[in-house]
Structure 1
Amino acid sequence: MLSTTAGGVTGRPPAIIDTPGCSHLDQPAKTFLQALNGQHCAAPIIPEEVKVEKYKGLPCVAFTIDEVNQLSARFSRALVGTFYYGRPSLQFIRLCLERIGFMAFTVALINTNHILINFSSDNDYHRCFKRHDWKIGSYSMRISKWTPDFDPRYESPILPLWIAIKDLPIHLHSRSSLLRIGNVFGKAIKIDTTTENFGRPSTARVCVEVDISKPLPTKFYIKNGETPVLLTAMFEDLPEYCNECRGVGRHSKECKSFIPTHHQQPKTLPLTKEHQKNQPPKTQIPVKTSLKIPPPKHQQQQYKKVLPKPADRL
């Protein structure tokens, strides 16, 4: 049964899985930290007594990198949906995603223009992430990856890109080998079906989550036993990234590289011969004519009236 919570709208509820040696009947009530960490039997990863530090003269609570990674593990399949021109209701978004075919997921509101979609399966996550823009009714939703350092003011530079590798030795076209090679550029998430079925051994394609804000290597080596092999990686549909405004494929209005688009008048199509016959004849002025045309007023010479001098008195 579908449910709605204060934090957002949920899809189909996940199945209840009994953990051996961890029954809900003989376990005490969970604390808030245990519920946050999603752990039933293990101790909370964050100590309840937290040392308050100082940063720039203000109180500060510090989280280590390991704590951040463990806390964000339940959002490993989370995506951010951005609406630039209005946003529908969360219930409508959930219904549209279910009609598309996504299974178990949750939809939560981050702010007015951003929502958080957390999937339960890798297939749904990869399917939604590989398509950068989705149509939710009459609204456009842009998809980006959620990261622990997510800032709603900027778009995430991590994108799923297809990488084509030519002249890869044929015995390295296995799934495990390609995922291992794809991790050179980021996090490999999918292998091309043709490549996996060995349908085109000349080129291997793998989909990788790539951070386009960093330099991307186009040349790399593999060691085929003791023999080094130099290979070339080609990124398909690689968008531009602006380091100043952190825009992906576009610039913000405050960026120096932003170029406003001017409204251009539509170009008229040339008339066909039939339409040209129906047009009225154009009046032509002969080149040589005896008619003298006066010059424009601004070119006419201004003449002053010359009055006669008065006669000298005798």
Structure 2
Amino acid sequence: MAATATSQPPPEVGQITYAPGCSYVEKLKPKATHVQSIPLKPVAYLHGEPQVIWEQDEENQMIVNENLEYAVIGKFSYGWLDIQNLRKLIPKQCELKRACNIELLSNRHVLIRATLLEDYDHLLSKPTFYITQNNWSYPMRTLKWDPMFNSEEETTTAIAWISFPSLPPNFFCKEAVFSLAAAVGKPLQVDMATKNQTKPSCARVKVEVDLLREFPKRIKIGMRMQNNDVAEKWIKINYDYVPKYCQTSMIQGHDEEQCYVVHPELHPYKEKSGNDRGKQIEERPSKGDNKGTKLMGRE
């Protein structure tokens, strides 16, 4: 979304600019430039149950209206701080460049409404952020927000790095690389080596992908000559990093081969016993426990 020009410099990381008399939400909500009203929808009945259906373009407009274009889910699996502290710490410790709205979405989940594509990209590019306070660390995994968000199931959408080895250097412009990357997913940005033309042997790009789809292994490029002949070449697609997804437990980070539900014998946690004293044992937090992990050996 385009930033509104002002005479003031942009806010620093974690800093919020205030307007007199504004509420907290008003302070954080960016000025939308393409807000359009959504018409009321009629209620229909299917087998006696009410339902309301919106069209795809209407849902897309809702996302724009509610500042959800760059929305990210922060998931705390091993404890979390109260929302007031998270609002202060997440922008600073995640090194966000523009102020964002952070709200509690459900137990263990916060909704981060980033307003800058660069912040959105940054949040989804790291496997885990560690939010720290008073020598305690709270791991936060980030996931793309989905309109049909379900706290019991993680989205199948993720960020992946792909590359095109042996791509001719005349195709290294952003438009050409993005055109090729669209065969895999939604392109977000090229890496610095591709942008600066310092590694002409391979173009690399970050894309938003659906982890359940089958990824192509190669793509054909072609150049149409003036006589209508087409010179063609196959370009291999390398997947430098793609997160795994388990359809059994519905979470990112592992597949069925590494799933403790499918293979309980792989579970690393052990019961405490007298013979285990002196060994380091990792414990799961109890349900409802919001205690983080004590930082050991950190300054």
Q: Same fold (TM over 0.5)?
A: yes
Pair 1:255-2:261 in alignment: yes
Counterparts of residues 1-314 of structure 1 (less than 5 Å):
13=28, 39=35, 44-47=37-40, 50-73=41-64, 74-100=67-93, 101-102=95-96, 103-137=98-132, 138-225=137-224, 226-250=230-254, 255-258=261-264, 259-261=266-268, 263=270
| CA distance 1:98–1:244, shift in 2 (3 Å) | closer
**Larger Rg over CA atoms:** 1
1:141 to partner: Cα distance? 0.5
Q: Distance in 2 between matches of 1:45 and 1:15?
A: 19
Equivalence for 1:288: none
Is the 8 Å Cα contact of residues 247 and 255 (structure 2) preserved in structure 1? no
SS in 2 for 1:71: helix
RMSD: 3.0
Q: CA deviation at 1:233?
A: 0.9
Contact 2:160/2:241 (8 A) holds in 1 = yes
Q: Structure 2: where are the runs of 5+ without partners?
A: 1-15, 225-229, 280-299
After superposition, give the CA deviation of every residue in 1:141-187 in whole Å (9 maximum; x if it has no partner): 01000111221111112111110110001100011211221111111
Equivalents in 2 of 1:251, 1:9: separation in Å?
41
Q: Does the 8 A contact of 2:162 with 2:241 survive in 1?
A: no
Aligned length: 240
- Report if aligned partners of 2:245, 2:252 keep a CA contact under 8 Å in 1: yes
What amino acid is aligned across from residue 262 of structure 2 in structure 1?
K
Give the match's secondary structure for 2:251.
coil
The CA distance in 2 between the partners of 1:262 and 1:132, in whole Å, is 22
Maintained 8 Å contact 1:188/1:208: yes
Q: Percent identity?
A: 24
List runs of 5+ in structure 1 lacking aligned partners. 20-37, 269-314
* Partner deviation per Cα, 1:240-264 (whole Å, 9 max, x = no partner): 2222332212369883345322549
- Quote the offset at 1:124 in angstroms: 1.2
